[in-house]
């Protein structure tokens, strides 16, 4: 197969990083670009959520730019190249799909996922704890989900959902007590425990907590925009009762 535009992109990045290229591009490092990597990935996810394939194509290009740029920086430091990156992920995919590229037999998705986790564990033998390998850069909610799932794999699980609800309600009570004591540091700790317990409730019911909150954020923003459309005076001038009535109208319009 021939990929002329991929090769062109690689050449462009190499030129931009050269002495005769762009001063800004030459100044970039893995560290300086980390925020860009996150932003581009999130914008690609936004395009997926919007069902906008044209926008998705553009955003995937921005993600690819980050991959090529990081690879070029590493190449200049004699660390690795884009070819090394491609080889690494290709080898990993072949290794973790023995039911496709080997002679392993599976019966459905569960077997595939179980085998994936087994092979992954074999590759990561250097990890001593179930908490190793959890990203420090991802959102706290995503980290909490991963932490919870990894703990469950080691048998750390509530016996039933009733017990989990008791834990959740207990955390709320402890948060209230901390607020009564006017202990902000303790209150922050207890509020964190509420969120972690909520993540476990979501996991127990097979709900992705990150996606659930993202949907709630989008829904709130849509309803707030509708409130702004319906408002007949600046929102700051609304009383609580007027605000509540306006919110209910917006809620009926944006279900």
> pLDDT tens, 181-225?
999 999 999 999 999 999 999 999 999 998 899 889 989 999 999
- Is the model's pLDDT at 125 over the cut of 80? no
Residue that is last in its domain, among 63, 96, 129: 96
Residues 180 and 224 in one domain: no
Its domain, for residue 181, covers 140-207
Identify whether 227 is part of a domain: yes
d(CA 78, CA 27): 17
**167 and 198 housed in the same domain:** yes
What percent of the chain shows pLDDT beyond 70?
A: 100
Q: Are residues 31 and 60 in the same domain?
A: yes
89 and 14 in a common domain: yes
Q: Output 156 or 60, whichever has higher pLDDT.
A: 60
Q: Tens of pLDDT along 36-76?
A: 998 999 899 889 988 999 999 999 999 999 999 999 999 99
The b-or-e profile of 182-218 (16+ CB within 10 A means b, else e) is: eeeeebeebbebbebbbbbbbbbeeeebbeebbeeee
DSSP assigned state of 254: -
Burial 12-26 (b: 16+ CB within 10 A, else e): ebeebbeeeeeeebe
Within this chain, do residues 78 and 48 fall inside the same structural domain, yes or no?
yes
For residues 85 and 71, the answer to whether their CB atoms sit within 8 Å is yes
Among all chains, which residue has been given the structure tokens 């936004």? 46
In angstroms, the CA 189 to CA 191 distance is 5
Distance, CA of 239 to CA of 245 (rounded, Å): 10
Q: What is the pLDDT of residue 184?
A: 92
- Residue 109: inside a domain: no
| pLDDT at position 108 over 90 | no
Are residue 145 and residue 191 in the same domain, yes or no? yes
- 28 and 84 in a single domain? The answer is yes
Report the percent of the chain where pLDDT is more than 90: 66
Looking at residue 142, its pLDDT comes to 87
In a domain? residue 131: no
> In this structure, are 219 and 191 located in the same domain?
no
Q: How far is the C-alpha of 63 from the C-alpha of 73, rounded, in Å?
A: 16
In the chain, how many domains are there? 3
């Amino acid at each position: 197969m021939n990929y002329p535009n991929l090769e062109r992109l690689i050449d462009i990045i190499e030129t931009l990083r050269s002495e005769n290229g762009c001063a800004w591009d030459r100044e970039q490092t893995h560290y300086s670009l980390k925020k860009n990597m996150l932003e581009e990935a999130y914008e690609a996810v936004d395009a997926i959520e919007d069902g906008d394939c044209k926008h998705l194509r553009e955003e995937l290009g921005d993600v690819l730019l980050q991959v090529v740029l990081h690879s070029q920086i590493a190449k200049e430091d004699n660390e690795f190249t884009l070819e090394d990156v491609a080889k690494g992920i290709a080898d990993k995919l072949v290794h973790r799909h023995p039911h496709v590229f080997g002679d392993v037999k599976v019966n459905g998705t569960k077997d595939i996922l179980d085998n994936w986790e087994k092979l992954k564990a074999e590759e990561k033998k250097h990890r001593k704890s179930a908490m190793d390998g959890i990203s420090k850069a991802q959102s706290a909610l995503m980290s909490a989900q991963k932490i919870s799932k990894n703990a469950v794999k080691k048998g750390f699980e509530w016996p039933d959902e009733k017990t989990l609800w008791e834990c959740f309600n207990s955390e709320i009570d402890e948060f209230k007590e901390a607020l009564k004591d006017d202990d902000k540091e303790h209150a922050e700790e207890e509020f964190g425990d509420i969120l972690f317990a909520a993540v476990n409730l979501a996991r127990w019911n097979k709900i992705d907590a990150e996606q659930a909150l993202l949907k709630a954020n989008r829904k709130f923003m849509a309803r707030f925009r509708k409130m702004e459309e319906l408002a007949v005076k600046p929102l700051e001038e609304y009383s609580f009762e007027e605000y509540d009535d306006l919110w209910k109208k917006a809620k009926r319009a944006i279900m």
